[in-house]
């Protein structure tokens, strides 16, 4: 039972509401900035080579008609889902539609590995029943196991992206640890020339240190699932730094994974924090306005602080 409960922590619905807005808007960005050639593939399906999932589901070959419909449906559903009105209906449209979008985008002989957490996030978000709608949902402190499960699934996929890439490094060498001492970063930089990277080519030992730090970090990444509070934050910052370094050296950003790190952030605290700050400020200005002070405002500020404390107690889950 304890194991089962690990998969379903209680987390405030507000975190889901924030993630819906952020991730659905991110999908729109993704369609234009990252997996952005799906409609081109509809126009020229010459190099189309369907992936396993597309073959299993017998998905039609991309065409101008179906990729255009897919595009419009995704934009509309993402915008609707991002408002947190009808988020589940919108979410159940976005999940299969974006999966298909990415499947087409990656059906040309090259598969990127930065979309696992985002795609799974889109499939788990609509499983959570929303308590309140629209703006009110961002402050909804109702804690839910369904929300916790969705969050946990996203967290697992974020971590799996790192841990499993360490596994892939062992596997490609015939299950041996040769990757960190190899010339892989030199190879990558030569193939993606870029000033910072080319400068580093003169210092292969720096690249080897980076490879060791990278693979050790990837192997240890599952620990982050069990860390709490600021230690978990340090873990997240380590990997955000890891991506910043990759972007500087190789122009590989992994943003679709980076945005999913927000599943670890106590986003449900944003509204209570903002409210208590506003209340404290109005109480302070009321106090300075009249020497006698307004009891009512001060009491309200105290109430808000109490709210903030409640929210804090469920953070770190």
Q: Which parts of this chain interact with another protein (CB under 8 A)?
A: 3-4, 7-8, 10, 12, 36-37, 40, 44, 46-47, 51-53, 99, 103, 106, 108-113, 115-116, 119-120, 127, 131, 141-146, 149, 152-153, 156, 160-161, 164-165, 167-169, 171-173, 178-179, 182-184, 186-188, 190-191, 201, 204, 306, 309-310, 313-314
Q: Quick one: DSSP state of residue 34?
A: T
Give min distance, CB of 225 to another protein, in A.
12
CB closer to another protein out of 80 and 150: 150
Give min distance, CB of 184 to another protein, in A.
5
Among 252, 253, 239, 259, residue whose Cα is nearest residue 27: 259
Q: Hey, what's the torsion of the CAs at 65, 70, 73, 76, to 10 degrees?
A: -110
DSSP state string for 180-231: GGSSHHHHHHHHS--HHHHHHTT-HHHHHHHHHHHHHHHHHGGGGGG--HHH
CB closer to another protein out of 187 and 212: 187
Among 118, 113, 114, residue whose Cα is nearest residue 95: 118
Give min distance, CB of 92 to another protein, in A.
16
Give min distance, CB of 266 to another protein, in A.
14
Ramachandran angles phi, psi of 252, nearest 5° = -110, 115
Which stretch of DSSP H or E encloses residue 115?
Answer: none
Among 118, 148, 122, residue whose Cα is nearest residue 314: 148
CB closer to another protein out of 49 and 285: 49
Give min distance, CB of 176 to another protein, in A.
8
CB closer to another protein out of 184 and 280: 184
CB closer to another protein out of 110 and 288: 110
Note every long-range contact of 186-193, with CB atoms under 8 Å and residues 24 or more positions apart, other chains counting. 188/249, 188/250, 189/249, 189/250, 192/250, 192/251, 192/252
CB closer to another protein out of 75 and 201: 201
Give min distance, CB of 9 to another protein, in A.
11
d(CA 134, CA 49): 41
Burial of 56 (C-beta count, 10 Å sphere; 0-12/13-18/19+): exposed
CB closer to another protein out of 191 and 291: 191
Give min distance, CB of 286 to another protein, in A.
26
């Amino acid at each position: 039972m304890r194991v089962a409960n690990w998969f379903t922590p209680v987390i405030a619905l507000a975190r889901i509401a924030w993630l819906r807005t952020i991730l659905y808007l991110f999908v729109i960005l993704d369609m234009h900035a990252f997996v952005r050639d799906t409609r081109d593939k509809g126009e020229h399906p010459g190099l189309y080579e369907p992936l396993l999932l597309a073959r299993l589901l017998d998905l039609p070959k991309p065409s101008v008609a179906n990729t255009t419909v897919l595009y419009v449906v995704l934009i509309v559903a993402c915008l609707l889902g991002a408002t947190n009105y009808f988020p589940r209906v919108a979410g159940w449209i976005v999940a299969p539609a974006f999966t298909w979008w990415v499947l087409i985008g990656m059906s040309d002989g090259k598969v990127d590995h930065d979309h696992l957490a985002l795609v799974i996030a889109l499939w788990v978000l609509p499983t959570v029943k929303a308590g309140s709608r629209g703006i009110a949902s961002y402050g909804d402190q109702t804690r839910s196991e369904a929300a916790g499960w969705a969050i946990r699934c996203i967290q697992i996929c974020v971590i799996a992206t790192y841990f499993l890439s360490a596994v892939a490094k062992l596997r490609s060498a015939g299950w041996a640890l040769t990757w960190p001492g190899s010339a892989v970063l030199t190879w990558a930089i030569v193939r993606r020339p870029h000033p910072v990277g080319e400068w580093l080519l003169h210092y292969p030992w720096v690249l080897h240190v980076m490879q060791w730090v990278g693979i050790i970090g990837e192997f240890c990444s599952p620990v982050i699932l069990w860390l709490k509070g600021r230690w978990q934050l340090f873990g997240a910052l380590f990997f955000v730094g890891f991506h910043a370094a990759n972007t500087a050296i190789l122009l590989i950003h992994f943003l679709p994974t980076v945005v999913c790190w927000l599943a670890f952030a106590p986003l449900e605290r944003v509204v209570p924090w903002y409210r208590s700050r506003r209340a404290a400020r109005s109480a302070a200005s009321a106090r300075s306005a009249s020497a006698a002070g307004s009891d009512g405002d001060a009491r309200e500020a105290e109430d808000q602080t109490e709210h903030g404390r409640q929210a804090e107690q469920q953070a770190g889950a």
